[in-house]
Amino acid sequence: MKIVSLLFRAGIIFFWIGCLIVLLAIASVGSLSQNVKTINVLTYPATLDQKIIAEFEKETGIRVNLIYYENNEELFVKLLTTKGQGYDLFMPSDYSVERFIKHGLMKPIDKSKLNFWHRINPRVIGQYFDPENIYTIPFFWTVYGLGINRNFFDKKIPDSWQLLFDYSLSHAKVGMFNLAREALLTTALYLFGGIENLTEQKIKQIQTILVNQKKNVEAYIDADFRANYLLASDASPVVVAASTFIAQLMKENEAIDFILPREGTFILIDSWALPTATTKDDLVYQFINFLFKPSALLHLFQNYPFFPVTNDLKMLMEENEVPESIIRAHFDTKLKLEFFKNVLSDESANNVWITVKTS
């Protein structure tokens, strides 16, 4: 009986020792997981891929979580409602930057921690939305124009935004912006040769043009890949589109071309920015420096609709046989380039757009 009793007590002791070991192990794992270096990055889909992320994680030991959004409006809501808590890096488009700054959602950039600033094309630095680049690091840019399918045309194609608004030129429906600001400013550039000083009378003219255009719109385009689909599927011979997307399609289909309207066109710059709430600046700067490595930029350039802001872009374009019209869009200094500025209040733009969509 004594032996049985001793064995029983020994069993209890070993049981509790085992429990203690398990608890210590769990605590140790929890401590390790808390020490894992992680950053949360807000970005568009089809911008960064797992190959790039995996290389960075292997090189630095920093884990990167990608959180996607579809447009700047969604991005703004995410950051405004959370005050940026839980995010460490995000990518706003130029016209939205002022709003992020106004609401205190951006942290000033420490350029001393960037090893590539001297390689950035001066053309994309010091723009209206952040004149001193205090808050933003340009990452990629695109120029808008008209993607066309030449199979639909039996005569010379005019280099004008008129293609979007004059049905008689192609006798087919077009692909048009589905965002109020972009649609209104494109129409203003077509009608008035500029986007500034839009009086009430001019806004009414813009509205009339857009209402008349509606019956000849095949689709209002939310994302650039839809423009490519409209062209490639022969659903529409004319779409408003970004040079980055049309460049890919032109390599696959010789009937597709890219036209720069003589009235001028629009440039869009997407930049990296740090939310005010992040405390992981050092990790974030390591990630940004990695993304600007020539090998990383080359990979993104070759695999995504991505034109980097670095000085070697023209060389990359020529080496990878980017069509001449796309190269010209980015390097023709005589080409008039506008930004999708907030020259209209949201209320004014939305009122026009509601009228257009409900007409």
Domain ranges across the chain: 39-141+268-320, 142-267+336-358
Of 135, 143, 64, 104, the C-alpha closest to 305 is 143
142-267+336-358 matches 39-141+268-320 in CATH topology:
yes
pLDDT-derived band at 141 (thresholds 50, 70, 90) equals: very high
Pairing of the two strands 38-43 and 265-272: unpaired
Lowest mean pLDDT among 8-12, 86-90, 314-318, 326-330: 8-12
Average pLDDT over residues 25-52: 72
Topology adopted by domain 142-267+336-358: D-Maltodextrin-Binding Protein; domain 2 (3.40.190)
Per the model's pLDDT, the better-predicted residue between 172 and 322 turns out to be 322
Q: Categorize the per-residue pLDDT at 139 as very low, low, confident or very high, splitting at 50, 70 and 90.
A: very high
Using CA atoms, how far apart are residues 145 and 153, in angstroms rounded to an integer?
Answer: 18
First to last CA, the chain: 95
Residue 227's pLDDT band, with cuts at 50, 70 and 90, is confident
- Distance of alpha carbon 158 from alpha carbon 204, whole angstroms: 26
Q: What is the pLDDT of residues 91-102, one digit of tens each?
A: 999 999 999 999
| Cβ neighbours, 10 Å, residue 201 | 8
Residues 6 or more apart whose CB falls under 8 angstroms from that of 104 comprise: 276
Nearest to 187 by CA among 311, 340, 336: 340
The answer to whether 261 and 145 are in contact (CB under 8 A) is yes
Q: What is the pTM (predicted TM-score) of this model?
A: 0.86
**Cα Rg of the chain, angstroms:** 26
Mean pLDDT of 264-284: 97
One-letter amino acid identity for 142? T
**For position 33, what pLDDT does the model report?**
37
The band of 5, judged by pLDDT with boundaries at 50, 70 and 90, is: low
Closest CA to 120 of 138, 143, 93, 95: 138
Output the CA–CA distances (angstroms, integers) from residue 189 to 48, 69, 194, 265, in the order listed. Answer: 33, 29, 5, 8
CA 67 to CA 89: how far, in whole Å?
Answer: 10
The closest of 217, 170, 213 to 190, measured between CA atoms, is: 213
pLDDT of residue 30: 44
Q: Which two tokens stand for residue 57?
A: 């994680």
User: What's the CATH class of domain 39-141+268-320?
Assistant: alpha beta
CA distance 113 to 75: 26
